[in-house]
């Protein structure tokens, strides 16, 4: 049931015009339902839930956005993923970032891509309808006019295809270049840390075995000297 509901929600996507923000005050309306709590907890919560659904539906259909549905959803999600990748990796540029805040630019780009996809969907639907009607007509002027209209629409669809491909490719290249830059910055920082450290084994601790060996050698040498100075048994008997 949950998966089915998720599929239902992803069949339509609304891409909003960032220049026309959705007002936030409608979200305060569900709080009005809580005013019925003194009359009954169930009634108050039910009213708040109903108002919340109404506000969510109204915000979803707020003017200034384009709707993407059907098979075009997958293409839109791929483009949106590339835009999200650019937004996440843009801070890696640091002081080189121009503009410093890329979000407004990406929002406009995101909206324009949504408009291209939505316009192409509408044109393809119109082309399918024209083709179906034309096939039902007998040869004549009206059929020829429909054919000319169809060719114009198909040319426009091809133009939109080229624009969409160019924009998504540019965003993809930017995301790849930002990823490569971020990996180079991480590698550079790591290299500096490695170069600043001492070489392995350059500062070893003193080995106590060396000192023990020296003391043992000195003890053995002294013992040999004492042995040479000690009188032999024949000297002690005489």
Q: Give the model confidence (pLDDT) of 121-168 as tens digits.
A: 999 999 999 999 988 888 889 999 999 999 999 999 999 999 999 999
Q: Which of 16, 31, 23 is nearest to 112 (CA)?
A: 16
For residue 1, is pLDDT > 50?
Answer: no
CA 142/CA 133 separation, integer angstroms: 10
Show me where the domains of the chain are located.
Answer: 9-69, 71-189
Q: What is the pLDDT of residue 6?
A: 38
Residue 198 backbone zone (phi > 0: left; psi -120 to 50: alpha; other: beta): beta
Q: What is the pLDDT of residue 163?
A: 92
Q: Give the model confidence (pLDDT) of 47-64 as tens digits.
A: 666 666 665 666 555 556
* pTM higher than the cut 0.85: no
Q: Chain-centre distance of CA 10, in angstroms? A: 19
- What percentage of the chain exceeds 70 in pLDDT? 61
Asked if residue 91 lies in contact with residue 185, where contact means CB atoms within 8 angstroms, the answer is no
β-strands 12-16, 65-69 pairing:
antiparallel
Which residue stretches of 139-231 are H helix? 141-196, 208-229
């Amino acid at each position: 049931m949950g998966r089915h509901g998720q599929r239902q929600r992803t069949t339509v996507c609304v891409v909003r015009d960032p220049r026309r923000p959705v007002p936030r005050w409608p979200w305060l309306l569900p709080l009005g339902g809580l005013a019925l709590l003194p009359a009954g907890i169930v009634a108050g919560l039910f009213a708040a839930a109903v108002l919340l659904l109404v506000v969510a539906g109204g915000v979803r259909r707020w003017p200034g956005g384009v709707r993407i549905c059907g098979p075009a959803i997958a293409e839109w999600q791929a483009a949106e993923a590339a835009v999200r990748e650019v937004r996440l990796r843009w801070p890696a540029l640091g002081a080189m970032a121009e503009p410093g805040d890329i979000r407004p630019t990406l929002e406009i780009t995101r909206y324009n891509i949504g408009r291209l996809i939505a316009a192409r969907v509408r044109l393809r639907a119109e082309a399918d309808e024209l083709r179906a009607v034309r096939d039902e007509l007998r040869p004549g002027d009206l059929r020829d006019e429909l054919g000319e209209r169809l060719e114009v629409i198909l040319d426009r669809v091809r133009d939109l295809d080229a624009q969409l491909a160019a924009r998504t490719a540019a965003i993809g290249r930017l995301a790849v270049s930002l990823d490569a830059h971020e990996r180079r910055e991480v590698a550079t920082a790591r290299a500096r840390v490695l170069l600043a450290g001492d070489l392995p084994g350059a500062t070893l601790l003193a080995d106590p075995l060396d000192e023990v060996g020296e003391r043992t050698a000195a003890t053995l040498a002294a013992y040999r000297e004492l042995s040479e100075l000690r009188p032999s048994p024949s000297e002690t008997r005489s």
